[in-house]
Amino acid sequence: MIGERLKRARAASGLSMEKLARKVGVSANMIKKYEHDKSMPSSEKLISLAQALDTRVEYFFRPNHCQLSDLEYRKRKRTTKRAITMIQEQVMDQAERWSELKDLWPHAPIREFSIPQILPEKICSLGQVEEIADSIRKEWSLGFNPISNVISMLETQGILIIITDAGSQHDFDGLQTKIGNQPIIVCIDYDDGARQRFTLAHELGHLLLQNRIGADMDEENVCNRFAGALLLPSSIVQEHFGKKRNTLEFQELYYLKHRFGINMQACLRRAADLSIISQNTYTSMMIEFSKRGWRKSEPEKPYPKEGTQVFRSLVFRALGEGLIGESKAAELLKEPLMQFHRERSLELFHAASHQ
């Protein structure tokens, strides 16, 4: 029966029973019967339900075998319970597809994540956080150059990434969870890639530093400091700005943003954290940011967004190895079969290159 699946798909879409009923052409009471397995929709209504919920019919018959553990949200006070449910169900859907894909191999071709042994047992100061960020860069062979792609870096370390649009209108930033021992970081689909990168680095901070942070320290502040230090190391900040300044030019911040993929406000915060500028200077410059409307939308074009490639790559690998067929591959990618077929044959890429 499909009741539990239908209920979860509706929660993920944010639709009430009444709104879904109107889209499908049945009563709200009938939707309730479907969800409680007291009635089974016809094939025609099942297709309508899938279309209304932006999923495929196969979703309703997927086995429930995925369990998320250690679910931790980075939500804000205004985030509603309904929004959290919507986010959680979208994440569960994507996590289930990850789990189903991994189970195709006796030993999934995904690196197993492990916490670096270089981390201290206890973090007692923000200065330590700077050192930890530098040591992670060294441990993961990142050097001190800009991290070209944060998602790729995390996936290389065995951390699964999910980008969702579920929380974009609900003041939700990110969360982390696990499938078995495989960590998952979830980030909303920001318009600006610099903000996306900072959120991913912040969530990495939670993953690496949890249970190590001193009782007198605020975990969110620690993870913000870690994210800033990971994306923009202290040595680079001092090299770019100098060791002491009375003020900074906005153009300096803009240049650093597009070189290192970290927004201008975070660059400014780094300068204050490292005592290159005073707290008064930082405050006055942030006031100017507010006057210019830059706290919501920074000037000029946004930094490019990143996307996850590992999941798609593994779907095509499974297809190439004969573990799944085109229909299953399209279902895992949540794409119409015809669109997937064209993508597989590179027709869509060929057409785009000739526009």
Question: Tokens at residue 144, please?
Answer: 């001190």
Is residue 291's pLDDT more than 60?
Answer: yes
Token pair 């980008």 in the structure block, residue: 163
Give the tens place of pLDDT for each residue, 75-130.
Answer: 555 667 777 777 777 778 888 888 888 888 888 788 889 999 999 999 999 999 99
Give the tens place of pLDDT for each residue, 269-286.
Answer: 999 999 999 999 999 999
Per-residue HEC secondary structure of the chain comes to CCHHHHHHHHHHHCCCHHHHHHHHCCCHHHHHHHHCCCCCCCHHHHHHHHHHCCCCHHHHHCCCCCCEEEEEEEECCCCCHHHHHHHHHHHHHHHHHHHHHHCCCCCCCCCCCCCCCCCCCCECCHHHHHHHHHHHHHHCCCCCCCCCCHHHHHHHCCCEEEEECCCCCCCEEEEEEEECCEEEEEEECCCCHHHHHHHHHHHHHHHHHCCCECCCCCHHHHHHHHHHHHHCCHHHHHHHHCCCCCCCCHHHHHHHHHHHCCCHHHHHHHHHHCCCCCHHHHHHHHHHHHHCCCCCCCCCCCCCCCCCCHHHHHHHHHHHCCCCCHHHHHHHCCCCHHHHHHHHCCHHHHHHHCC
Give the tens place of pLDDT for each residue, 179-191.
Answer: 777 898 988 888 8
Question: Rounded distance, CA 264 to CA 257, Å?
Answer: 6
Is residue 197's pLDDT more than 80?
Answer: yes
Question: Rounded distance, CA 179 to CA 131, Å?
Answer: 30
What average pLDDT score do residues 214-227 get? 95
Give the tens place of pLDDT for each residue, 28-42.
Answer: 999 999 999 999 999
**By CB neighbour count within 10 A (0-12 exposed, 13-18 middle, 19+ buried), where does 210 fall?**
middle
Token pair 């019967």 in the structure block, residue: 33
Whole-angstrom Cα Rg for the chain: 23
Question: Rounded distance, CA 134 to CA 120, Å?
Answer: 13
CATH H-level superfamily of 1-61: lambda repressor-like DNA-binding domains (1.10.260.40)
* Residue partners of 158: CB distance under 8 A and separation at least 6: 110, 111, 112, 113, 114, 182, 183
**By CB neighbour count within 10 A (0-12 exposed, 13-18 middle, 19+ buried), where does 101 fall?**
buried
Is residue 348's pLDDT more than 60?
Answer: no
Q: How many CB atoms lie within 10 A of CB 146?
A: 16
Give the tens place of pLDDT for each residue, 45-56.
Answer: 999 998 898 888
Is residue 355's pLDDT more than 60?
Answer: no
Give the tens place of pLDDT for each residue, 59-73.
Answer: 888 766 666 667 676
Give the tens place of pLDDT for each residue, 312-341.
Answer: 999 999 999 999 999 999 989 988 888 998
Q: How many CB atoms lie within 10 A of CB 221?
A: 12
Locate the domains of the chain by residue range: 1-61, 325-353
Question: Rounded distance, CA 37 to CA 147, Å?
Answer: 50
Question: Tokens at residue 98, please?
Answer: 């990850």
Q: Report the half-sphere exposure of 65 (CA within 13 A, side-chain side).
A: 10
Q: What pLDDT, on the 0 to 100 scale, is given for residue 349?
A: 54
